[in-house]
Amino acid sequence: MNQHFALLGHPISHSISPFIHRRLFEIAKIPAEYVLLDVCKPDFLSVIPTLSKLNGYNITIPYKQAIITFVSQLCGQAKIYSCINTVKNSGGASFGYNTDAPGFLQALKFENLPLAGNVTILGCGGIARIFCFEAVFSGCNVTLAVRAQSLDRTKALANKVARATGSSVAVTLIDALPKNAGILINATPVGMFPNVDESPIADEALAHCRAVFDAVYNPHETLLIKKAKSNSLPAVSGLSMLIFQAVFAHKIWNDVDFSDGDIAQLIADSSEFLKRFG
């Protein structure tokens, strides 16, 4: 009997999650369907009964926090972030998880980019918050870099992290990156398709970085990634994270594992799919 899964969000018509999850189900030899539920905010409540009938589902913007009210229990790191991207329905109950955090860490490990030393995170949104916490948990010296209009919100985030972890987080303007930025993490949408000719930082700022991780996955190689490589910097695309957060979702749903070879092939195939998709 087929299992039934979905991605809830809006707008998600250009999501490649169905491609990734269907491939993972094929590798695991699990008969399942995975569909998009592109639901605008006025219709959000009406989709809850549909979600409860699924074996599980993923959630993306703008519902990662709104869905919390409708799950039975928060599990693991979802408790820390009050943010869910994966739900498992079982025995009449629903369990909410966050696989963005482990997906991020596993992607860095897979790409041989240790999360250590100085880390500079561009942005202060939900995914930046996850990156910030995980970098602090890893013992890094963290700086959040944002535009002037986001300074107050960023300082509030830095204070929240400090209260929760006992570690201070620096805040600066994105045009004044520290001289030793270390690993630069782009947690903004700058450079995302269709605005592929944009970069979140000036070219000269890369001289202060030792590596780059860009959470943007479409295109696979953003302008920031291309510029990092042209400066001989290790550079990791957000596609690896997207795939690993999906892998962790499958572990939650069906307790399955995937080989490094399977993951490497899926990253390559997804990159090619993105080229056609764009």
Q: In whole angstroms, what is the distance from residue 108 CA to residue 235 CA?
A: 10
Phi, psi angles (nearest 5°) of residue 161: -65, -40
Beta strands per DSSP E along 126-262: 141-146, 170-173, 182-186, 209-214, 235-237
* Cα–Cα distance measured from residue 100 to residue 267, given in angstroms and rounded to the nearest whole number: 17
- Which of 103, 173, 101 is CA-nearest to residue 136? 101
3-state class percentages of the chain: helix first, strand second, coil last, to nearest 5: 45, 20, 35
64 is catalytic: yes
Do the Cβ atoms of 216 and 186 come closer than 8 Å? Answer: yes
Select which of 64, 179, 226, 227 is catalytic: 64
Active site residues: 64
